[in-house]
Amino acid sequence: MNQIPAIPDDPSVERPIVVKEPSSISLSGPWRFLSDINSAGIDEGWFDPGFPDSDWIEVEVPHTWNVMPDYADYEGVAWYRKTFTVDEDITDYHVKLHFDAVYYEAQVWLNGSYLGEHAGGYTPFGFDVSSLIDKENVLAVRVDNIRLPTRIPDDSFDWWHYGGIVRHVGLELSSKVFIERQVVTAVPHITGWDEADLATVSTSVQILNTSSDNFEGMVVADILDDQSGESALNETVVQRVSIPPGGRVAVELRAEIQDPRLWHFDHPNLYRWSSVLQLSADERLHGKEDIFGIRLVQLENAQFILNGEPVRLVGMTRHADSPEYGLAEPAVFMTADFDDMKRLNMVFSRPVHYPQDESVLDYCDRNGILLIPEVPAWQIQESHLSNESTKAAAEQQLREMILTSINHPSIWAWSVGNEIDSNTPAGRDYVRELVAVSHVLDPTRPVGFASFRLDQNQENDASALTDFVFMNEYFGSWHGPKEALPESLDRIHELWPEKVVIISEFGLEAGWTSARWMGDTSLLNNESYYYIEPGTPPDSEQVFSIRSRLIADQMNIFRSRPFVVGAIFWTYQDYRSEMEFKMGLLDQRRHRTAVVDVLRVQYSPLREIEIDIGEVSDGRQTAFVQLVTRGPVDTDLPVYTLREYAIRYSIMATDGNLVSFEGEILLPTIAPASDWNGEITWEVPPDDYLVEISIVRPTGFSVWENRFDADGEQLD
């Protein structure tokens, strides 16, 4: 990416240090849009402030043109223009123009001046525009969504290449000396399962001086409990700092928290590292806060250990895709999907093949989902993997993903690709090089990649070079007969007995038996395959039944292999693709299938739930409840201790609307392979009624719920 230099080349330009309160200006919202089919925009000056754009289409950014009927299949070049006014005096500000993501390549002009370009459709970038910003401004962005073999993803991927300014755009204003970024590392001293008596927090505070003055000041840092806002330290951390004009320094700070509140998917406790850059004790120049969590993930002896407890976890993937928005989904839409996935007992995910929107990462931090983000290197062949341009593109996006997202506690590992030719020399070189880059950028997290070459000849796969085995498996369909799955898993464990295995994808595509995939489909009409008759509608009961059987069968196989510590279903919803894959629990418009309930039960941490509602006595009725948790950890999946779970119950009218009474019982800590027996009692209302009973996580998401009539008959 090319950027405007932070300091003008002319040394006579004065850029003094002036105290300015940090602020931001959103540039999302109305823009002008026009396709550039003949790539004439540059020659015709579409970036020029005076270029007439009144007849261009008005769109709302974030935006992708492929949701517009006239541009649904358009692959090519298009332009966006925005005229905006800056009302405040910004003479003494540092001003950064920031894009959260533009798919795929963006070239950017401000007020007719070329700022630079950025390639890669899912990572943020920006430009210093301090010397160019004015009261009246015109911003122009040339975008292309063209698929090329040297890009990441390359020209063969099978999710939609939604072109456009697909995420938020804005201006960030600050003093000319400012905190550029912070990297927070928190390490707890574990004293028991999910317990710690101390946490050491180390932070690198990177400060940039874009002024023409020497900066002499201090950094004052604190750690705040995100929920209460109170300091978690006995005293703030203070360090003097000196930065020459145009200089950049990294200030290394350290603090300790006594009795820290650990981050866990069932209690995602958060802290904020707050750094304030000050000229003196009374002059605040710039401040920055970064969310972080305190947790410890260890991969030891083929176990996944979270905060000292061996656990086995489950989840699913989700493409950032919808018919209404394409890739440019609003936060409220993403939140609705992730709320639903949490209700399906998801606590663990490789979200999909590319870096996620910041709102997704923030959601997972606050609601409890462990993530393995991935760069979009999908099914890249050996000839492309050996291409230096391809590797450079992958490394650039890997760097941007890690440096942008490194503080999120929900992220516990990184993935450098998916389904590449990992059993070739070029594939092994690619994995080796990108794993090394990841470890340099972030020494605290393990690194893997999603391999689909582990069905046979596993010893040749680049999984040997990673910190854990990440396995896409489609036995019973693409990868071969059902019975080969246990054999493959056992061979993997034999080769790398110390490594955990995570199933990065499993599922069933409704049309996989067609001749375009397997040729002679007569070979598949037997008990070794999850056979679907060619031409069967993907939304039919037959497909749902077979897919449900696959989930049950394969979850049982995973459970029997204790080194399989995680399983991720492909996929939450159907998405737009040229191959028209249909593999979702929901269709593209979020209509649910019968498989949803099957997966939810398989993913529940409770193996058994029994509710027995007794007779009415003295105007009261009692429900006797028995819960049995999954476990032990070496024979079941998912498995983890239930802490601060609750039973909630509501008494309501038979129309289901009027709640006449609500209650909650906090459950004790329930270990894996344990049971709990208890009862709940309520006053019987005068009219006929229903009772709704649910088991709820401390995050508020239900693990299970059902309704009963007054006679104790289950209704759902």
Reported as type and span, the H/E element at residue 559 is helix 541-559
Q: Which long-range contacts (CB under 8 A, 24 or more apart) does 613-616 make?
A: 613/691, 613/708, 613/711, 613/712, 614/712, 616/684
Contact status, residue 220 vs residue 236, Cβ threshold 8 Å: yes
- Look over the chain and give the mean of its residue pLDDT values, rounded to a whole number: 94
- Radius of gyration for the chain, computed over Cα atoms and rounded to the nearest angstrom: 28
| Spatial distance between the Cα atoms of 3 and 115, rounded to a whole number of angstroms | 6
| Spatial distance between the Cα atoms of 33 and 141, rounded to a whole number of angstroms | 10
397: closest CA among 411, 378, 384? 378
Asked whether the predicted pLDDT for residue 95 surpasses 90, the reply is yes
Domains of the chain (ranges, CATH numbers): 23-174 (2.60.120.260), 177-292 (2.60.40.10), 307-603 (3.20.20.80), 606-709 (2.60.40.10)
Structure tokens at 620: 């009261």
Distances in Å between the Cα of 367 and the Cα atoms of 293, 335, 404 are 12, 10, 20
DSSP annotation of 617 reads B
DSSP annotation of 37 reads T
Q: Give the percent of the chain with pLDDT over 70.
A: 96
Asked whether the predicted pLDDT for residue 378 surpasses 70, the reply is yes
Q: What is the pTM of this model?
A: 0.95
DSSP annotation of 667 reads P
pLDDT band of residue 512 (cuts 50, 70, 90) is: low
Tell me what the mean pLDDT of segment 465-469 comes to. Answer: 98
| Spatial distance between the Cα atoms of 413 and 448, rounded to a whole number of angstroms | 8
Contact status, residue 621 vs residue 615, Cβ threshold 8 Å: yes
Tell me what the mean pLDDT of segment 376-385 comes to. Answer: 93
Asked whether the predicted pLDDT for residue 220 surpasses 80, the reply is yes
pLDDT the model gives residue 712: 85
| Spatial distance between the Cα atoms of 694 and 656, rounded to a whole number of angstroms | 15
Beta strands 702-709 and 501-506, pairing class:
unpaired
| Spatial distance between the Cα atoms of 211 and 13, rounded to a whole number of angstroms | 10
Structure tokens at 384: 């492309």
Tell me what the mean pLDDT of segment 25-32 comes to. Answer: 98
pLDDT the model gives residue 8: 41
- Give the 3-state secondary structure of residue 431: helix
Structure tokens at 370: 């462990």
| Spatial distance between the Cα atoms of 153 and 353, rounded to a whole number of angstroms | 9
Q: Tell me, what amino acid is at 672? A: P
| Spatial distance between the Cα atoms of 248 and 128, rounded to a whole number of angstroms | 15
Reported as type and span, the H/E element at residue 195 is strand 195-209
Asked whether the predicted pLDDT for residue 670 surpasses 50, the reply is yes
Helices 484-495 and 541-559 sit at what angle, rounded to 10 degrees? 30
711 or 656, higher pLDDT: 711
48-73 pLDDT, tens digit each: 999 999 999 999 999 999 999 999 99
Reported as type and span, the H/E element at residue 660 is strand 659-666
Contact status, residue 413 vs residue 407, Cβ threshold 8 Å: no
Residue 281, C-beta contacts closer than 8 angstroms, at least 6 positions apart:
none
| Spatial distance between the Cα atoms of 497 and 560, rounded to a whole number of angstroms | 15
611: closest CA among 509, 713, 533, 542? 713
Contact status, residue 604 vs residue 314, Cβ threshold 8 Å: no
Segments in 414-463 forming alpha helices (H) = 425-441
- Give the Cβ contact number of residue 38 at 10 Å: 10
Contact status, residue 662 vs residue 648, Cβ threshold 8 Å: yes
**Among positive and negative, which fits the CA dihedral 237, 243, 246, 247?**
negative
What values do phi and psi take at 433, rounded to 5?
-70, -45
In order, the DSSP letters of 340-374 are HHHHTT--EE---SSPPPHHHHHHHHHHT-EE--B
624-662 pLDDT, tens digit each: 999 999 999 999 999 999 999 999 999 988 887 778 878
pLDDT the model gives residue 513: 52
Cα–chain-centroid distance for residue 697? 21
Q: Going edge to edge, which strands form the sheet with 177-192?
A: 177-192, 195-209, 248-258
Q: Which residue, chain included where needed, has tokens 């020399």?
A: 425
Contact status, residue 210 vs residue 15, Cβ threshold 8 Å: yes
pLDDT band of residue 5 (cuts 50, 70, 90) is: very low
| Spatial distance between the Cα atoms of 297 and 190, rounded to a whole number of angstroms | 11
pLDDT band of residue 224 (cuts 50, 70, 90) is: very high
pLDDT the model gives residue 538: 87
pLDDT the model gives residue 250: 97
Asked whether the predicted pLDDT for residue 124 surpasses 50, the reply is yes
Q: Helices (H), strands (E): how many in the chain?
A: 9, 37
Structure tokens at 400: 């941007």
568-600 pLDDT, tens digit each: 999 999 999 988 889 999 999 999 999 999 999
Q: Which residue, chain included where needed, has tokens 């690194």?
A: 447
Segments in 560-649 forming alpha helices (H) = 595-603
pLDDT band of residue 523 (cuts 50, 70, 90) is: low
In order, the DSSP letters of 248-272 are EEEEEEEEEEES---EETTEE--EE
- Give the Cβ contact number of residue 415 at 10 Å: 25
Beta strands in 93-192 (DSSP E): 94-99, 105-110, 113-119, 125-128, 136-144, 169-174, 177-192
Task: Kindly report the three-state secondary structure assignment for every residue of 395-415.
Answer: HHHHHHHHHHHCCCCCECCEE
pLDDT the model gives residue 2: 38
- The per-residue b/e assignment along 175-212, b for 16 or more CB within 10 angstroms, e otherwise, is bbbbbebbbbbbebebeebbebeebebebebebbbbbb
Helices 388-405 and 425-441 sit at what angle, rounded to 10 degrees? 30
| Spatial distance between the Cα atoms of 357 and 60, rounded to a whole number of angstroms | 17
238-278 pLDDT, tens digit each: 999 999 999 999 999 999 999 999 999 999 999 999 999 99
Structure tokens at 200: 């050491």
493-504 pLDDT, tens digit each: 999 999 999 999
Residue 675, C-beta contacts closer than 8 angstroms, at least 6 positions apart:
608, 626, 627, 628, 629
- The per-residue b/e assignment along 280-319, b for 16 or more CB within 10 angstroms, e otherwise, is eeeebbbbbebbbbbbbeebeebbbbbbbbbbbbbbbbbb
Asked whether the predicted pLDDT for residue 11 surpasses 80, the reply is no
- The per-residue b/e assignment along 440-450, b for 16 or more CB within 10 angstroms, e otherwise, is ebbeebbbbbb
How much helix, strand and coil, in percent to the nearest 5, is found in the chain?
15, 35, 45
